[in-house]
Structure 1
Amino acid sequence: MEYEIVKLEEKKAAGIKARTNNMSPDMGAVIGGLWGRFYSEGIYESIPGKTNDKVLGIYTEYDKDAASDYTIVVACEVDGKEELPGDAVLVTIPAGNYARFIAKGELHEAVAKCWQEIWSMDLPRTFACDFEEYQNDGMDETEIHIYVGLKE
């Protein structure tokens, strides 16, 4: 699978979070439920200081003792200067080198296929922060940029 290495500046993002594990039988429900809440409860609309209209799926706080435990945050990029509503949290996407993959097609299939290929690659990952950046809001024909944190 092709990718390019990009150097990103630090970004701030605001959204809602949950903790899960890829081996957990309810992982899909946890992640799907988070995405559902983000839109159905008006969280996206209520977050102030958005810097663009893209939505992010951020994977962070990997458990060092159990590599498959992580926190997922469904968020949008913000300037980080305004108070957040409700249970929204502010997270930092660290500056650094990232492998950027581009997935296109039906949203769920494209994301799942791309991650399966990433997991099979021998990348020098940091396991500090990886994220998906949704370029549009389509379900059938979408484009997602997936950034995987790399060691320097």
Structure 2
Amino acid sequence: MDLTNGFKIIGIEVRTSNQNNQSQSDLGKLWEQFYSENIIEKIPNKISNEVLSIYTDYKKNYTEDYTTIIGVPVSTLNEIPNGLFGREFDKENFQKFIAKGEMPNAVIKIWSEIWEKDEELNRKYTYDFEVYDAKSQNGENSEVEIYVAVK
């Protein structure tokens, strides 16, 4: 499924920052909540079982506050269960990266490389996202696609 043309999502969110390892703690808790509360089963109108982790509402860039959403793509936002929220994301230009290896370390490594290239990538800071599907559950052979919005 091509998500670069925009999509709707229902899931859970947290406002966080990369400062003082805050995001590591917040995102760990968000993922834990997503799985422990079986959020995926509560989401209606799913168009896939791919789990998306979206980074958006950047205050400025990756060094400032931003919002992370973990959820699933849906066909409509007409029905949003209590405690969850829905959001629509427009079409965007992306540069695609693939994190390969043990998760979450492989994803953390790729984000470090992206941050190092922040200027040359000409990032847009609208929203970026990761796609977790069957390939992301293969131990040290896992793969996660990362899409970074660029100008």
Question: If the length of structure 1 is used for normalisation, what is the TM-score?
Answer: 0.88
Residue 146 (structure 2) aligns with: 146
C-alpha change, 1:66 and 1:39, in structure 2 (3 Å) is closer
Q: Which amino acid aligns with 2:113?
A: E
- Deviation per residue, 1:93-123 (Å, 9 max, x gap): 2202100111111111110111011111121
Residue 129 (structure 1) aligns with: 127
Residue 57 (structure 1) aligns with: 53
Q: Structure 2: 5+ residue runs without aligned partners?
A: none
Residue 17 (structure 2) aligns with: 21
Matches within 5 A, 1:109-124: 109-121=105-117, 122-124=120-122
C-alpha change, 1:66 and 1:59, in structure 2 (3 Å) is closer
Matches within 5 A, 1:81-92: 81-92=77-88
- Deviation per residue, 1:59-110 (Å, 9 max, x gap): 0000139952100001111112441112211122220210011111111111
Residue 36 (structure 1) aligns with: 32
C-alpha contact 1:7 1:97 (8 A) present in aligned 2: no
Distance 1:92 1:63 in 2: 19
Please provide the CA RMSD for this pair.
Answer: 2.0
Structure 1 residue 39 displacement after superposition: 1.1
Identical columns (%): 38
Distance 1:139 1:94 in 2: 31
C-alpha contact 1:54 1:77 (8 A) present in aligned 2: yes
Distance 1:126 1:38 in 2: 28
C-alpha contact 2:8 2:77 (8 A) present in aligned 1: no
Q: Which amino acid aligns with 2:85?
A: V
The structure with the largest strand share of the pair is: 1
Question: If the length of structure 2 is used for normalisation, what is the TM-score?
Answer: 0.88
Distance 2:40 2:88 in 1: 18
C-alpha change, 1:81 and 1:69, in structure 2 (3 Å) is closer
Distance 2:16 2:110 in 1: 20
C-alpha change, 1:114 and 1:25, in structure 2 (3 Å) is closer
C-alpha contact 1:8 1:98 (8 A) present in aligned 2: yes
- What SS is found at the alignment partner of 1:8? helix
